[in-house]
Chain A
Amino acid sequence: MTRKRGRGVAAVNYPTGMNLGGDPTQALVHSTPTGNFMVTVSSVDLGQGMKQILRQICAETLGVPSERVVVDTADSDTGPHCMGTFASRGTHRAGNAVIAAAREARGVMLEVAAEMLEVSTDDLETDGAGNIHVVGAPAKAVSVTDTALAAHFQKGRSISGRGMFLVPRSYPSPVDGAMKPATCYAHACTVAEVEVDVETGEVDVISLKNVYEIGRALNPRMVEQQLVGGAWMGISHAIYETTEPYYPQRDHRGVDFNEYLMPGPGNLPRTEVVVLERPAPDGPYGGKGPGEMCANAPIPAIANAIFDAVGVRIDTMPFTPEKILRALRGLEA
């Protein structure tokens, strides 16, 4: 059995979100009578932590503790419009929409508090702990709860806001086709080390070192969780996932995820993840999209490592034993 080692590197420049006919997301924020806040969006949390991130963003913008915010990801039939959770767009698009909605709601909240305290809204600030007070005079304060109660029962006001974030459609230039499909880009670089068995064509990923530049990490532990899972998913895309790993006939192929091979807990390489933060000027508190792009850099890095190990270029995913053996045979011929 001959196993050969190789190392490969790849870097990606990944647009946050996409741009087909414009890329919008909308959000609504409103307060309950006791001064808790509800964010309504149609963006979906599929485990990546969208609810937590939107909760933090809303709380930060309103100036209230995040425990006071509830996020309802509702239903795309009834909620504010969102293009969806894909293309690493969730945090950026929905986050910006939530900021806009929370700003408007904060404006109303401060107007009500200003009336209660008999001062101008310009003189008010929030303490982040559930109170609104006069700048420089923390004793002259009213709680967010009392403000909301007053809005509901005395002033007849709705502490609420509407938020909209749209990346408008970008048309390609008729001259050279250039366009601006995204407003910010995340970056990733991976160094992969692999072992290729030249008799069986099997590839083992030995180690994966990843550096990700994702804007500001709005929730560092959740970012790390995404990146660790995503780097692994990159390996899965690179050498496992296909509905027809070995069969030339379509009717022999797998028909669902059961036949769709993925690495298990015994197939883990040594993985390192390093996060670089360069806040995006148009991102919500500087955040870009870490979601999808973190799986991308490992794939070409593994392809390059295979080339380094055995001298064959596999240019279609996944890099199955069959493709590698055929390519090796091609080298001999």
Chain B
Amino acid sequence: MAKIPLHFILNGEERAEFVDSGATLLRLLRDKTGDLTAKSGCLQGTCGTCTVLVDGAPRLSCITLAEDCDGADVETVAGLAAHGQLHPLQHAVMEHFAAQCGFCTPGMLMAAKALFLTNPRPSREDVVEALSGNICRCTGYEPIIQAVLSAAQVMSASGPGAA
């Protein structure tokens, strides 16, 4: 089967890869780019732990075709911390003890980041809605909701563009 050439941006860096037709974005990330931050959970779009941003929108990378990402801007948790500084979301997860096993955390962070891009001052309901496609078996969600709300506060205090 012919390989499909793909150009895309991963966390600000240009990438070129060949992929099989039908390969998922999750496999492209994990197998080809070595970025293991998007987790491989249910592989059928129900758990959310593989969530990444494609052109600023949250996507379940396990059911997104890699070939549809030609020219796309892809962001994963690996790109969150800039210049050695943790992103406010990452800080908030620490402060609020919002991760236990951590398997859901990358997906939660990316879902929250996507929320901030469209809604920098989300209400509790907005946060719950934004995270409703992400399953966590450890925390009971409340610490995650609190972490996202507090990161939103920190970021809107430090001005637009902080996301």
Q: Which residues of A contact B (CB under 8 A)?
A: 46-49, 221-222, 224-226, 228-233, 257-258, 262, 264-266, 268, 271
Contact = CB atoms under 8 A, between A and B. Distances in A.
Interface of B: 42, 44, 46-47, 97, 99-102, 127-129, 131-132, 134-145
Given A229-B140, A232-B141, A265-B144, A221 B97 contact: yes
A225 B100 contact: yes
Contacts of A226: 100
A206 to B, nearest CB: 15
Q: Which residue, of B100, B127, B136, has the highest number of chain A Cβ atoms within 10 A?
A: B100
A271 B140 contact: yes
Given A46-B101, A47-B101, A257-B42, A265 B138 contact: no
Nearest to A264: B132
20 contacts: A47-B100, A47-B138, A224-B97, A228-B139, A229-B138, A229-B139, A229-B140, A232-B140, A233-B137, A233-B140, A258-B42, A264-B132, A264-B135, A265-B128, A265-B145, A266-B129, A268-B140, A268-B141, A271-B140, A271-B142
Nearest to B43: A258
Contacts of A257: 42
A230 B142 CA distance: 12
A297 to B, nearest CB: 15
Contact of A258 (B47, B100, B129, B139): B47
A295 to B, nearest CB: 10
Given A231-B140, A258-B42, A265-B141, A225 B97 contact: yes
B94 to A, nearest CB: 11
A49 B144 CA distance: 17
- Chain B at the A interface: SS class: loop
| Across the A-B interface, the 5 shortest Cβ-Cβ residue pairs | A232-B140, A47-B101, A47-B100, A265-B141, A225-B97
A257 B42 CA distance: 8
B47 A228 contact: no
Contacts of B128: 265-266
Contacts of B136: 265
Contacts of A224: 97
B100 to A, nearest CB: 3
A264 B142 CA distance: 10
Contacts of B127: 265
A208 to B, nearest CB: 10
A225 B132 contact: no
A47 B102 CA distance: 7
Given A47-B99, A258-B46, A228 B142 contact: yes
A118 B135 CA distance: 60
Contacts of A222: 97
B131 A225 contact: no
Given A225-B143, A229-B139, A232-B140, 10 more contacts: A46-B100, A46-B101, A47-B138, A232-B139, A258-B44, A258-B47, A265-B131, A265-B141, A266-B132, A268-B141
A262 B135 contact: yes
A226 B129 CA distance: 24
Contacts of A232: 139-142
A299 to B, nearest CB: 15
Nearest to B97: A225
A167 to B, nearest CB: 26
A48 B100 contact: yes
A258 B137 CA distance: 12
B7 to A, nearest CB: 34
Nearest to A229: B140
A262 B42 CA distance: 14
A264 to B, nearest CB: 6
Q: Which residue, of A49, A221, A257, has the highest number of chain B Cβ atoms within 10 A?
A: A257
A258 B143 CA distance: 23
Q: Which residue, of A49, A224, A230, A232, has the highest number of chain B Cβ atoms within 10 A?
A: A232
Contacts of A49: 100
B150 to A, nearest CB: 15
A233 B99 CA distance: 15
A265 B134 CA distance: 8
B62 to A, nearest CB: 12
